[in-house]
Structure 1
Amino acid sequence: MAYWLSNTSTLLFLLQRSLKSASTTPHRKPPPATSLFGRMTQGFRSSPSSNLAVVALDVVRQVEAKYPAFLFKQQLTAYVEKIYGIIRDNLKKELASLISSCIQAPRTSKGSVLRSFGRSFGNNSATSHWQSIIESLNALLSTLKENFMPPILIQEIFTQNFSYINVQLFNSLLLRRECCTFSNGEYVKAGLAELELWCCQSKEEYAGSSWDELKHIRQAVGFLILKVSSPNFREGIVERKSVIDIRVKGECPDLVIHQKSRISYDEIINDLCPILSVQQLYRICTLYWDDNYNTRSVSPHVISSMRVLMTEDSNNPVSDSFLLDDDSSIPFSVDDISNCLQEKDFSDVKPAAELLENLAFQFLHE
């Protein structure tokens, strides 16, 4: 499938560059009827012999396309979109069985949550599902590169699949109370770190904006594992300084307290989870429970503020849902493919012997 997507998208690129609409062409006498081979011959002979090192755009001049040509281009575009969708969805199916095992930290035989989240993460059999996701991404990337897939198509395949990962992880988090815990947040964060490393190693040329597609689950996990820190904590009193600022600046605290009840609503929506809706925040805050330190979620005042905002927004049917939807649309156009591909220099390419023996290709000898 990667082979055919690469070739059909390249052919679509050549058609896009060589066909022009008759409606955009100034009125003139119709050219004499010539064969395709004749037009190619004219294209070669109209150029100086010293300028034979031309790109494909100069070899085949733009021609006025009529209905059959445009119909073929439309069908070819549909093939490109269809094959792209098959490759994208095949990866989604491969990831689906793994993602369901990545939202909740595995437990040991004694029932305690597994806590080995270091760089040995990928070597632990209990957390091998995250590593399997990385292996699936690497295998597909290798196949696409071997078949010279246009970078824009590679980027879109992985961007949409990272969006799929984001949707599945985030929705599972909001639907399962056992997932909204401190230790589970650490587990998911370790897996997300592996995905971030993959994006860095694959570089933007192939990963595109994949990492940005994980914003919802990244911010939700950030809330779960947030540790409120203060260097001047005394007898349960935190100094009047943003706890978020302290966390971001990385100051060395004398004490770390795992209490989200000290966080204000403004700090949550402006610093910690700016992309999440109030419905999503309310869901996370009310489901959260600290399985390590047995501390509370956000304060009742914050919960009350969220309820007021949700009541005010209750007339908007779109705002009622806190779940994300997966986008399976085709995210590129023919122009996007055409703009990303580069024309090649064919001056050093030797014609096939069969063409040289054909009288219709005598111009190749020139």
Structure 2
Amino acid sequence: MTLRKGSNVWVEDRNSAWVAAQVTDFIGKQVQVVTQHGNKVLALPENLYPRDEEADHGGVDDMTKLTYLNEPGVLDNLERRYALNEIYTYTGSILIAVNPFTKLPHLYNVHMMEQYKGAPFGELSPHVFAVADASYRAMMSENRSQSILVSGESGAGKTETTKLIMQYLTYVGGRAADDDRTVEQQVLESNPLLEAFGNARTIRNDNSSRFGKFVEIQFDASGRISGAAIRTYLLERSRVVQITDPERNYHCFYQLCASGMDTEKYKLGHPSDFHYLNQSKTYELDGVSNAEEYSKTRRAMDIVGISQEEQEAIFRTLAAILHLGNIEFFPGKEHDSSVIKDEKSRSHLQMAAKLFKCDVQLLVTSLCTRSIQTHEGIIIKALDCGAAVAGRDTLAKTVYAQLFDWLVEKINRSVGQDLDSQIQIGVLDIYGFECFKQNRLVTCYLLKNNVVYGNNRLLHLLKGINKGRLLEVLLESDL
């Protein structure tokens, strides 16, 4: 960028991220600018971005039309449109949505869907229905499956956007042939169940999805919806055993602790009594009753065809995980060995074994020792307290992940899949990540010539690993 006196630029600002300014002088290697607020600021040339003085007051609906497509220009355009209640903006074929954090029913009614049905992409104002319609038309004209990626940080509105896309595809694709309920209704009916076991409070959002969800809408040759399936992946398993204040564990644990009769049956109490829940002091959500949510989760289980016996097993497993987390260890008599710490821990151990329906001594052996297969046979190695705790937590995470996968399979049986479908539209709702001083879940890494760049732990784990096994190794390591 060539700068001269009078150039219109964007300069970084502590309060507003970026602020409009104009170049007034050059002092050494720095540039002096005067902001729109009248403040004089010195900045390096590389930290300034060109600004279009003639920018449209209401912004542009497609940001490829911007004279300067840079970060401050994009943010300014989105702010201008948001001020006019325009929450959608294109960047080419990409739709950017700014969450208004309020209901806007007039934007998503049948009349609006009819407006976008068959309309060329870009002809009407930016809208999520336009993206869904373009995907449907491309599928029909090319006879090829399509995918829509919904991404953004926690609380950005990804799950709501996914629901709107399904709503539109149900509208243009018609009803399922053998069911009075639309596919959208069938999928949405399972939402309370998925949210109970897959959502949690984060610093950004009281009901944040902590797993990725790929909703596959299946169509027949005439473009009618013939089935659906939900694929889930990358459940945040670490949340089961470790949380930070003011976040929460998965909703189902708090619901179970407020369930009344089940609380007594499983020897539960207030969430503060359990290690997996009391690492954060946030036990309640504003305007949400854990007891009422427990009833809703039970009803959702009934809807998707989970029997009373199966429901009993589900909540028994959840209770066992909570008791498992309260088992503590103490150094044993032998070197690097461990034993159950005290009577309190032994009581939780016995309850966990009873709920898991396993032998108490076998559970102790699994927690305090490790079996190693060698050419000479099996060697039993004692574990120190740290390794025993790690093994306990790994067991809790694995059991919970298996339970979650089983629930998703039950949901898919309820929704109904068309295994013969040749064309589908997949909607990928990938959960958001937050930035912490310490983030145990690695969300970004670079691969180049089989060299991994990232934090030291990731580098150590993946050193020499082939790219093709990257995802498998990440899941095995449970970062």
TM-score by length of 1: 0.26
Structure (1/2) with the larger strand percentage: 2
Structure (1/2) with the larger helix percentage: 1
